[in-house]
Amino acid sequence: MRLLITGAGGFVGGALLRNAPEEWEIHACTRGSPLWRRHKLTWHCFDLSKEAILEETLESIHPHAIIHAAAAADIDWCEANPREAEQINVEVTRRIASFCKKYGTRLIFLSTDNVFNGVRGMYPETDIPDPVNHYGRTKVMAENVVMENVPSFVVARVALVIGFPLLGIGRSSMSRALAMFKQGKSLGVPTNEVRTPIDVVTLSKALLELAAHSFCGPLHLSGNDRLVRYDMMRRLAERLGFSPDVVYPNDPTGLPGRANRPLDVSLNNSLAQSLLSTRMLGFDDALATIVEAAAQ
């Protein structure tokens, strides 16, 4: 297997690198500097929006599969910078999809639970996306590009990802929360947002399994437990040795510059459960997994 990973310097990308089989040839794309060295790992450090460099890199590697994890994932930034968000989330995906179409390369595209409007929750793969923010809209556009052009693909709609970075930094809400708790600060969390969080270790293993799998289509990757974010963070604080009272209820609705959030984008993961050998976890098992991984 010759696998290319975009966003390799990010939160999910770092977990993919740490958990990739040693016998695979891995090509890691990042805008930053190389984070780690291992056998059969090659770094490619450039901006994916540079079309000529991206095309040259893909042509030189000719991967069997691509996990496209790079994205502009800051919801508020995407809302404030819609064109730039589309350039990163849609146009880069279009170029990668074009390569995959030309050569029959398998593409695992990371999408989001934010493609849904959050009215009902427990969305299966057959539900029609209806995002409430521009980040979600860019992901729907990118999903359509992949599904319409790539012969062998997975649109992996990923729930809220929890865990600590295994390499690099990335966007880890748990790391930010732990830093606040250690400083004696409290954390305000919404009491009306519902998610089905998945830990970064399980997610990375599922994505790597899919890279070598034959399944084609959208797939929901999430944990087994449907949780209010407020309750989730209180349980996290307690698991890390802090009082759950360091987490307090906070309603950020209406804050300047804050994009709309869907309320309940819990995902139905029954298809992933039946398809993959990677086991989706409940929240307590997920916490144990990420604490163990961070200690290694």
Write down the pLDDT at residue 168. Answer: 65
> Per the structure block, which two tokens stand in for 30?
């990042």
pLDDT tens-digit readout, 223-240? 999 999 999 999 999 998
Region 4-24 average pLDDT: 95
CA distances from 60 to 4, 103, 156, 260 (A): 11, 13, 26, 41
pLDDT of residue 291: 84
Backbone angles phi, psi at 9, to 5 degrees: -90, 5
Per-residue pLDDT tens digits for 104-162:
999 999 999 999 999 999 999 999 999 999 999 999 999 999 999 999 999 999 999 99
Overall average pLDDT of the 184-191 stretch = 94
User: Superfamily for 2-168+192-227+260-295?
Assistant: NAD(P)-binding Rossmann-like Domain (3.40.50.720)
Predicted TM-score of the model (pTM):
0.96
Residue 169: pLDDT band (50, 70, 90) is low
Contact residues for 191 (Cβ-Cβ < 8 A; gap 6+)? 228, 229, 230, 249, 251
- Measured from the Cβ of residue 194, the count of other Cβ atoms closer than 10 Å reads 20
Place 283 in a pLDDT band, splitting at 50, 70 and 90: very high
Give 244's contacts (C-beta < 8 A, 6+ positions apart). Answer: 234, 235, 237, 238
Query: Other CB atoms closer than 10 Å to residue 37's CB: what's the count?
Result: 7
Give me the residue spans of the domains in the chain: 2-168+192-227+260-295
